[in-house]
Every structure is written in structure tokens, then in C-alpha cells.
Chains A and B, each alone.
Chain A
Amino acid sequence: MPNRPSSLPNRAGLGLKPQHYATIHSERPDVGFFEVHAENYMMAGGPAHRHLTAIAEQYPLSLHGVGLSIGAARPLDRDHLERLRVLEQRYAPLAVSEHLAWSSHDIGFLNDLLPLPYTAETLARVVEHVDTVQTVLGRPILLENPSTYVLFEASDVDEIDFLTQVARRSGCGLLLDVNNVMVSCTNHRVDPYAYIDRFPLPLIGEIHLGGYDEAVDGRGERFLIDAHGSETRPDVFALYEHVIALAGPRPTLIEWDNDVPDFPVLYAEAARVDDVLARGFLNLRRAS
């Protein structure tokens, strides 16, 4: 087995939502880890930090950034990177992750994970940015594959090759979002199983699962939109089982950020994932 790119447990984790703080404090549910969006805790103090501090004392924590704009052409926002460093120091999470995407431009922060062309130029820029983040934080991060709806004519590097090269050159690990694989592959007419079979599985430090929405594009063809507003769809879950069968168990987060349900609904999703992870582990043990 290669060195694990993250020290989160090989369990199901949940995104931590303020509406569930009270339930988690009082019931101490058996959840493998909790993950937060780093930007939601970048205020100086207050109740959000008190809740997170209490929960981080009881559970492994993963810090997931959505605002560094690693895929942008411009230099990283040093103020924002410093905020991330302070937060990382404060909570000592077991994983820190960000996206292969950009969200800030000269006009400001656009609050969406936007796509970039995959070329030698953008690869060098992303490697430089990941390197800067890791130098400031003093630890490796995980970089997540994006959901995309369009392609750039100029792209001449395949997405998997791009991610693999970023990981090799910067030393980062990868966060495989299986829902994003389904979304992007469906939208770009690629077989998602072929994508997984080519993905550098030993680099996966964490997996994300979430729900997509369906739409129809201008040609009348079905396309998928990353939505994080429902349970994981059956085709994504089947693809996830394929990933675990190939890669062995990995820390797996249920991402449900919109129309957040009551805690038991999330907990049931986590239980479903823990079942798959337990099976994967047993298979690995039998194989060895």
C-alpha cells in the first residue's frame, strides 16, 4: 500500500451544518468525521467557532476550502491564504482540500467553482499555486476534480493527466468527487467507468459523494448539474462502489449543502457508505 495521502479514517463523514450542531452535541452520533467549508469559519470568534471547537474535540475534522481560486491566472490572495493558515493552525484538521477551479477575478469573488483550460501553461500555474498553499500551510493538501458543463477549445491536456501531473509535481493528494465524475463525464460524453479506471487511485486521500440535478441542453440532450441538494443518485453510488472495489476503503464525505435535510437523513446516507467501506475493507483483507 502506498502512503495514505490523508489521515482521515476510512469511514463515512458528513458536512457539518449549523442546523445540526445541537443534535451532534446531544446525541454524539457515530460519524467517521465532519467536514466544514473553511470560509464559513473565517470570522474572528463567536458561536460558530464554539460549536466547531466542541465538535472537533470529539470527531476528526476535514477543512474544505472553496475560495482560494487555485485555478486562476492571477496570484493567490495572500490575505485569504493567511486566513486559511490561521484556521488550519486553530483546528489542526486531518485533511485540507481545495478545488481545481477558479472563483476570483479582477471584478471580485464570483462564488462559483469555474472551469479552466487544461494546458501546459495552466498546469504550471496550478502547480505553483498548490505549492504556495502547501508551503504556507506546511502540509500537503488534496485537490478536487471539478464538475464542468463546458470544455475549452484550447485544452490539450486530459483532466486526469492534469490532476496526476499536479499531484506528482506538487506532492499534493487528490480528492475524488465521484458525483463530479458522473456530471462531467455525462456532459462530455465520456464513460465514467473508463474515467475511474484511468484515475490515479493511490493518490486519493478523500472521496466526495453528492446529488446532481438533471437538465436538457440546447441540443435537447440530457446534461447534469452539480447540486449538492439531494441524496447520492443510484448511478453515482454504483460508480462509488466500483471505486472502493478498485481502490480499497477511503474517507468518504456526503456533501449535502442545499435544502439540507434533518440529521437522520444524512446519517442514513453515511450508514449506506459505511456499509460499502466495510465490505471494501473485508475484500482487501481476503485478497492479501
Chain B
Amino acid sequence: MNHAAALARFAAAVTDPALPPPQDIVTPEGPIDPLRFAVYRNNVHVGLVGALEARFAVTRRIVGDPFFRGMARAYVAEHKPASPLMFAYGDDFPAFVASLVEIAAVPYLADVAMLEVRWSHAYGAADVQPMTVADLARIPPDQLADCRAFFHPSAGWLHSDYPVATIWALHQEPDVPRFELGSGESVLVIRPDSDVLLHSLEPAEAAFVDHLIRGHTLGEAAEAAAAYPKFDFGTCLVGLVSIGALVALTPSIEDHA
């Protein structure tokens, strides 16, 4: 008997219902009973689908349990978790959802799922004190343009062609009111203290945040954001600091070529 080989046979059969149960497992009465082996298959399946149901509760509410389980079953068959941390399972579930032709009637579904990924990331991110407006005031104004932003560890953002944060909020309770699909939303997700917060950003703010997150200086981000209407550098920066999105602004150490 080889330990590794026995477990490899078991793992293969437990994850592939097309395979018969391994031939080296038995019951007291003799040969293996497929109904008993099915308990393990069911546990693995239900456990992983359940992890997705817990993490993507709004996605599930939008499409209903049967459809969600169908998607989750197909995903689980192709994507086993890389680690035992079930709260982190399914980071690429939104991409999988987006690839399904069946979701044409709910074109915002994958974006809602991505918002839920951002939400759960923010929930478990490191606890760090955000910088305050007083901290901001101590930075000499003539140095601001060359600063880069360090976002709070919980911060994540996404842009959707659909009002994804509005849809998410409407689906927090089982009775979902009727809603119109308005214009797209850019959402900044952060947990500066105990609650995960969703902030919808104006297009100019979104361009600003997008550039900062990608490592550009405040000056560069402001330049990009100025292409959109109603951009005001000071208002936008103070706004970001006020909601606890930033940990620090530090002077750029790189020379611009």
C-alpha cells in the first residue's frame, strides 16, 4: 500500500462523479458501497458551493438559489481552492460568471460579484489608522503634486457600466424593490474602522483614484481627472482623506525622466 497513491485515487474519485469509487475502499460487509462514498462527494461539493454562497450572497439573491448553485457547481468543478481559507475562495468567480452566456439577462451580475470580492477583502484587511485631514494639512501645499498616495489596506475599487453599488444596496434584504438600470458607477470600497463602506465616485474622482492606485503622483492624477467635468483637486483630495481612504501621502522619491 502506498499512502500517496491511495489518497490520489480517493481525491480523483471524490471530485469526479464520472469515476467509480476507488477499488481499495470497503465496508464491513465487503466491497465499497457507492452510496457511502457519495457522502464524501457530497460533503466536498456542498462545502465548496456553500463557501461561495456565503461570500457571494448578493449575487445569489439576484439570480436565486437554483441558478446560483448551478453556476457555483460548474465553478467548483473547475476551480478548487488553493488554500484552506474559505473566506478567500472565489476571487476569480466574477470572471467565471462573466464568461457565462446564460447571464445575458443580468449583465451587471459579474460586476456585483466583483464588488462582493472587494467587500470581503476589505472586511478582513489589516487594521490601520487612516490619515486625517490634520495630517494632510501638515504637508506643504507646494509638495502635494509630487506626492504619491498609500491607500488603506482595505481599499479596492471598481468601475462598472451598471449602477453596481446601487444594485448591491437594493439587494441587502430579501424583498428587492423594482429598479431601473441607470448609468454606470465607480465604487471605492474601504473599511477605515469596523464597517465596510461603499462610496460611489463621480467620473473625475474615479479617474483621480484610478491613477493614484496605479502609483501616479497626485499631480499626474489631477491632470488626468481634469479631463472630466467638475473636478476640484482640493475637494477631491480632502474627500478621500475624510472617508479614511488614505494612510499616507509621501513625497515622490523617483525623478521624473
Please give the residue numbers on chain A whose beta carbons come within 8 Å of chain B beta carbons, in ascending order: 39-40, 42-50, 66-69, 72-74, 77, 79-80, 83, 102-112, 114-117, 119, 121-122, 125, 149-154, 187-189, 215-219, 221, 223, 225
Contacts and interface: CB of A to CB of B under 8 A. Distances in A.
Interface in B52-92: 79-88
Nearest to A39: B84
B3 A121 contact: yes
Given A117-B1, A152-B26, A218 B84 contact: no
B36 to A, nearest CB: 4
Interface in B136-154: 153-154
B124 A150 contact: no
Contact of A125 (B3, B28, B48): B3
A175 to B, nearest CB: 18
Given A110-B44, A152-B25, 13 more contacts: A43-B85, A46-B127, A77-B84, A83-B85, A105-B7, A108-B80, A111-B84, A112-B43, A122-B3, A150-B36, A150-B37, A153-B24, A218-B36
A153 B10 CA distance: 13
Interface string B151-162: 001100000000
Nearest to A50: B194
B111 to A, nearest CB: 24
B123 interface: yes
A150 B21 CA distance: 11
B47 A111 contact: yes
A110 B83 contact: no
Contacts, number: 161
A44 B124 contact: yes
Contact of A225 (B39, B80, B125): B39
A215 B34 CA distance: 13
B125 A154 contact: no
Interface in B77-126: 79-88, 123-126
A189 B26 CA distance: 13
B1 A121 contact: yes
A80 B84 contact: yes
Interface of B: 1-4, 6-8, 10-11, 14-15, 21, 24-29, 32-37, 39-40, 43-44, 47-48, 51, 79-88, 123-128, 153-154, 191, 194
Contact of B40 (A107, A112, A216): A112
A112 B33 contact: no
B11 to A, nearest CB: 4
Contacts of B87: 40, 43
Nearest to B43: A112
B80 to A, nearest CB: 3
Given A112-B44, A117-B6, A149 B39 contact: yes
A39 B85 contact: yes
A223 B36 contact: yes
Contacts of B39: 149, 215, 225
A154 B123 contact: no
B23 to A, nearest CB: 8
Given A104-B84, A150-B32, A119 B37 contact: no
A149 B51 contact: no
11 contacts: A39-B84, A39-B86, A43-B124, A47-B123, A109-B81, A109-B83, A110-B80, A111-B44, A112-B43, A119-B3, A150-B26
A216 B38 CA distance: 12
A115 B10 CA distance: 9
B11 A110 contact: yes
B124 A154 contact: no
A43 B36 contact: no
Nearest to B88: A43
Nearest to A123: B3
A107 B3 contact: no
A48 B86 CA distance: 14
A69 B4 CA distance: 13
Nearest to A122: B3
B84 A109 contact: yes
A218 B35 CA distance: 6
Contacts of A44: 124-127, 153
B34 A218 contact: yes
A112 B7 CA distance: 13
A111 B51 contact: yes
A187 B36 CA distance: 9
B12 to A, nearest CB: 8
Contacts of A43: 85, 87-88, 123-125
B9 to A, nearest CB: 10
A187 B154 CA distance: 47
Contacts of B194: 47, 50
A111 B26 contact: no
A149 B40 contact: yes
B36 A217 contact: yes
A34 B240 CA distance: 40
